[in-house]
Chains A and B, each alone.
Chain A
Amino acid sequence: MSQLVIKNLHISIGEKAIVKGFNLTIKQGEVHAIMGPNGTGKSTLAKAIAGHPDYTITGGDVQLDRKSILAMQPDERARSGLFLAFQYPSEIPGVSIANFLRAAVQARMAEGEELDAAGYYKRLYSKMDLLKIDRKFTARSVNEGFSGGEKKRCEILQMAMLEPRIALMDETDSGLDIDALRIVADGVNAMRSSPASPGIMLITHYQRLLDYIVPDFVHVMYDGRLVKSGDKSLALELEAKGYDWLKQQPATA
């Protein structure tokens, strides 16, 4: 069983401290929902764990299977089993989804090992069917001209193809209509029920997503750290009361 351990993590952008002592352990198979007001550092946390060069880790550690990943390049982290579904995915003009994913799958293979193209397409098409993505999409450039919802679905397609052990999903529900939300949730639930079920950090603002992807834990992040943790009922409580009542609470670790 893989696990991601985030220990007293501090993250800055330039001089500005954004994440201030964040602690969480995510085991494979678990879903941890992270909620919290805008600007509290949720995306910063996810991107810094994935290795974005803009963010400086000023303290603490992140370990994947007991090994610190902080000295690794973003691509090494990804190949070690980490996946980030972006809040704002980048466009890659001229590179088709099929070729992009193929390169990503190839990157995980041993040197000299040949990708079985027929097997690859079979797998790609079955995942696309699951996510109800039109076949025409494989030939389109990654995220270029995609609608907000299409971009998010494309993130989940990549996650399904790359089979990470730990996935950080940053507001995958934003921009999705009701039907798309259910399709994406079904896709994630299918991954959860597979033998290689990933551990998931699910960043969201809305209870609605948690009706479909039922979390094992719900955490509230405020001002760069977790201020409250609970089970799925916490999300309902937040929906009813908002965040103000939590702002006075001390950090719970």
Chain B
Amino acid sequence: MKPPSEIETAIAMDANPVAGIDQTKGDFQYKVDYAFDAGTGLSADTVRYISSVKKEEPWLLEFRLKALKTFLEKPMPTHWATKDLGNIDFQKIRYYLSQGQKPKRTWDEVPDDIKKTFERLGIPEQERKFLAGVEAQFDSEAAYSNIKDIVAKQGVIFVNSTEGLREHPEIFRKFFGKVIPTGDNKFSALNSAVFSGGSFIYVPKGVKVAQPLQAYFRINAENFGQFERTLIIADEGAEVVYMEGCTAPKFSTSTLHSAVVELVALKSAKIQYITVQNWANNVFNLVTKRGVAHEDAEIKWIDCNIGSRLTMKYPGVVLKGERARGEVLSIALANDGQHQDTGAKMIHAANNTTSNIIAKSISVGQGRSTYRGVVHIPKHLKGCKNNTECDALLINTSSRTDTYPAISVRGDRNATQHEASVSKVSEDMIFYMQSRGLTEAQAMSLAVNGFINDLARQFPMEYSVELKRLIDLEMEGSVG
């Protein structure tokens, strides 16, 4: 085969704009009849209802009821977080809606009213193109869940949380709630009380899953709360990439999404968890995500937050074994009416562990971004390293950005490096681009894409393309 010409190479290096998932694409709703409905509001009866339709064992109902108590006891964290949290009315939310508890294995079996939603979002097509397995959650339960035979034959388990609990209790119970205890925060407690859906993944020793597994979370109903629970375990030497996407129609009332995601990377395992969050602007997105990395293991969170009204999310890694590595690469785009309160937590708990945080935020118009980081390296450890970089881009004077990095690195045998920058897209830069024929929106979009370029290049192709599309749309919307 002859080597590619200079021109061929240049073309291959450009990300070719193919159709991604755009924000307006998620803004639709088909009428769906729900067979199971926990009604509106939250009480012990709500929790009992959820547990009973899932035919859960008594210990789990117990677990849920205890969690409800914790949730009710814990105050809203408005002493440090935004007061906007106070606008969530937990008694006006619907906690469980589904057509049934058992996901279909083929798209043909998925009821039409739900199937057309996912088809419109392009999920079956993506599955054929580049995924090892897909779980498509519609409100409270997965409507579809499938894993390619070739991956299943390697012993990889990819099911929803209910199935995981029922069919693999020995693995599930061992890790469930261990990375993120119920009482970690008010919203992890809420999730523990009413969780439904989410993925359970187990990758056996030494198995490297070649293509990503994907979950797609769709909220369809108004006044709804989605509380998926994801648990991913990569056994020794295993490797897996998991991607999640999400959309909801734009309702005038608020919607709540509060997930808990726990990752366990055993010795020498690698987990990469990729999120492109594109909720409609009425969604409160309050998610707890954390992983434990054992000896020589690696956990990498790639977290892109484009949508929602308020996102509070600080993916974390507990570096539990020697030489474990943790990484958070995050991009947040806060447009008018949005607050992206994101960050990362790195807890070093063994020698020679390393962590890397690169957070980029873009604030447009009235949009607000906040970075909160925690890096903890105790004094008795040695050879630990952290690198933290926070860059903010402001696209007009009224937008706001705050950075709260809490870096506690003790002892003189550990190293940390911290950089932060705030830059502005200047009028002159936009004029320069416009004078070449680009519209104001295209110019802003290019400036934003340039700002995140070095990070986005590290993302899988399909996701960086989608991200670029989303940014284009956001910028189009932000120009009067």
Query: Interface residues, chain A, CB within 8 Å of chain B?
Result: 50-54, 73-75, 77-79, 83-84, 86, 89-95, 98-104, 107-108, 117-118, 121-122, 125, 135, 138-139, 141, 158, 162
Contacts and interface: CB of A to CB of B under 8 A. Distances in A.
B319 to A, nearest CB: 30
B75 interface: no
A78 B437 contact: yes
26 contacts: A50-B435, A51-B434, A53-B431, A54-B427, A73-B434, A73-B440, A74-B435, A75-B436, A78-B435, A78-B437, A86-B432, A92-B433, A92-B447, A93-B450, A93-B451, A98-B10, A100-B436, A101-B436, A102-B14, A103-B438, A107-B439, A117-B14, A118-B7, A121-B6, A121-B11, A138-B10
A94 B450 contact: yes
Contact of A90 (B11, B426, B439): B426
Given A92-B450, A95-B446, 11 more contacts: A54-B427, A75-B442, A90-B432, A92-B429, A98-B14, A103-B438, A104-B436, A107-B436, A107-B437, A122-B7, A162-B437
Contact of B439 (A53, A73, A92, A141): A73
Give the top 4 A-B pairs by smallest Cβ distance, nearest first. A94-B450, A95-B450, A94-B453, A90-B432
Nearest to B445: A103
Given A108-B437, A141-B450, A118 B442 contact: no
B437 A90 contact: no
Contact of A95 (B426, B435, B447): B447
Contacts of A141: 450
Contacts of B437: 75, 78-79, 104, 107-108, 162
A118 to B, nearest CB: 5
A221 B328 CA distance: 57
Interface of B: 6-8, 10-11, 13-14, 16, 423, 426-429, 431-440, 442-443, 446-447, 449-454
Contacts, number: 103
Nearest to A135: B6
Contact of A94 (B8, B426, B436, B454): B454
A106 to B, nearest CB: 9
Contacts of A118: 7-8, 11
Looking at chain A's contact residues, is the secondary structure mostly helix, strand, loop, or mixed? helix
Given A100-B446, A118-B7, A84 B427 contact: no
A99 B7 contact: no
Chain B CB count within 10 A is highest, among A83, A89, A107, for A107
Contacts of A84: 435
Contacts of B6: 121, 125, 135
Chain A CB count within 10 A is highest, among B8, B436, B452, B454, for B436
A73 B6 CA distance: 37
A122 to B, nearest CB: 6
A64 to B, nearest CB: 14
A218 to B, nearest CB: 25
A52 B434 CA distance: 9
A90 B7 contact: no
A15 B437 CA distance: 29
Contacts of A92: 429, 432-433, 446-447, 450
A221 B446 CA distance: 37
Contacts of A102: 14
Contacts of B450: 92-95, 141
A170 B434 CA distance: 17
A95 B13 CA distance: 13
Nearest to B432: A90
A210 B226 CA distance: 70
A182 B443 CA distance: 32
A230 B440 CA distance: 39
B14 A99 contact: yes
Contacts of A53: 427, 431
Contact of B438 (A52, A94, A107, A122): A107
Contacts of A107: 436-439, 442
Nearest to B427: A53
Contacts of A52: 431
Contacts of B7: 118, 121-122, 125
Given A75-B438, A75-B439, A100-B436, A94 B431 contact: no
A50 to B, nearest CB: 5
Nearest to B12: A117
Chain B CB count within 10 A is highest, among A86, A94, A117, A135, for A94
Nearest to B454: A94
